């Protein structure tokens, strides 16, 4: 049974249908990618899964339980966490303080310490910079803190919105390796939104292609890497 399943979800911005009858699922321990051009509906989909935008219609289930009517805070407690596009850190707060904000729904001290150890293991630079203001870090370091903040919520599903955007290639490689290690060692499911389709498809076990709010293709990551339409439209080959 899927950990998270979306059935025929529709999301509107006023009269505009940003997501149109999209159905997809994320299995236990899977990395799943959503790819597509800018404005295709990928980030809107993540916001609807996080409870930051209301569904116009359709249904969301987590571990078989309907969550369509729950709010964002409740979904965090249920095990969904989002590292948003643009990182959205508090720049005048320290790295440590930003991380602790991610753990505000976790009451168990041991779980918080385990989450902190995981973040520091995945991103050693975060531990080194913990007393610095978040706004003083490089873009890549800030991205690591943003992912770490989401992990501090102890999620079963980690959603990443454009983690490679505006990041130097060397840091992108480090973040990719951290995502793979996180998934391999903890079994946390990852839902990845990326305009860098090649990166996303190499990371993902399965992927969905969005175009104008609709899912137009789906399949294994490697399968879509070799798909002629995907190669021409999103990989430039």
Res. 236 pLDDT band, cuts 50 70 90? confident
Please report which confidence band the pLDDT of residue 106 belongs to, taking 50, 70 and 90 as the band edges: confident
Q: What angle do CA 54, 56, 61 make, to 5 degrees?
A: 70
Residue 188: closest CA among 9, 47, 4: 4
Cα distance between residue 168 and residue 114, in whole Å: 29
CA distances, 118 to each of 179, 183, 205 (Å)? 12, 12, 23
Tokens of 76: 């965090």
Query: pLDDT digits over 58-72, tens only?
Result: 999 999 999 998 999
pLDDT at 108: 76
- Domains of the chain (ranges; CATH) run 4-234 (3.40.50.300)
pLDDT at 205: 96
Residue 123 near residue 148 (C-beta atoms within 8 A):
yes
Going through the chain in order, the beta strands assigned E by DSSP cover 4-13, 16-26, 31-35, 57-62, 65-66, 80-83, 157-161, 189-194, 206-211, 214-220
What confidence category does residue 104 fall into, taking pLDDT thresholds of 50, 70 and 90? confident
Indicate whether 76 pLDDT > 80: yes
Q: At 122, list the tokens.
A: 């995945």
Tokens of 210: 């969005």
DSSP symbol at 94: B
Mean pLDDT of 30-46: 95
| pLDDT category of residue 107 using cuts at 50, 70 and 90 | confident
At 160-179, the pLDDT tens digits run 999 999 899 999 999 999 99
pLDDT of residue 237: 67
Q: What is the average per-residue pLDDT within 15-33?
A: 96
């Amino acid at each position: 049974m899927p950990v998270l399943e979306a059935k025929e979800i529709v999301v509107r911005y006023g009269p505009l249908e940003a997501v149109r009858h999209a159905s997809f699922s994320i299995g236990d321990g899977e990395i799943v990618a959503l790819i597509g051009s800018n404005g295709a509906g990928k980030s809107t989909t993540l916001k609807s899964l996080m409870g930051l935008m209301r569904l116009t219609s359709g249904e969301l289930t987590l571990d078989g339980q309907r969550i369509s009517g729950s709010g964002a805070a409740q979904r965090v407690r249920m095990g969904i966490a989002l590292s948003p596009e643009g990182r959205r850190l508090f720049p005048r707060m320290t790295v440590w303080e930003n991380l602790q904000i991610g753990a505000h729904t976790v009451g168990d001290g041991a779980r918080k310490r385990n989450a902190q150890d995981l973040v520091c293991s995945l991103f050693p630079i975060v531990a080194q910079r913990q007393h610095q203001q978040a706004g003083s870090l490089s873009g890549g370091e800030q991205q690591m803190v943003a992912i770490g903040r989401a992990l501090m919520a102890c999620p079963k599903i980690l959603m990443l919105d454009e983690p490679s955007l505006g990041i130097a290639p060397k840091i992108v490689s480090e973040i990719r390796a951290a995502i793979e290690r996180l998934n391999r060692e903890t079994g946390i499911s990852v839902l990845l939104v990326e305009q860098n389709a090649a990166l996303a498809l190499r990371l993902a076990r399965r992927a969905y292609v969005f175009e104008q709010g609709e899912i137009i293709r789906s399949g294994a990551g490697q399968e879509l890497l070799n798909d002629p339409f995907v190669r021409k439209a999103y990989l430039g080959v």
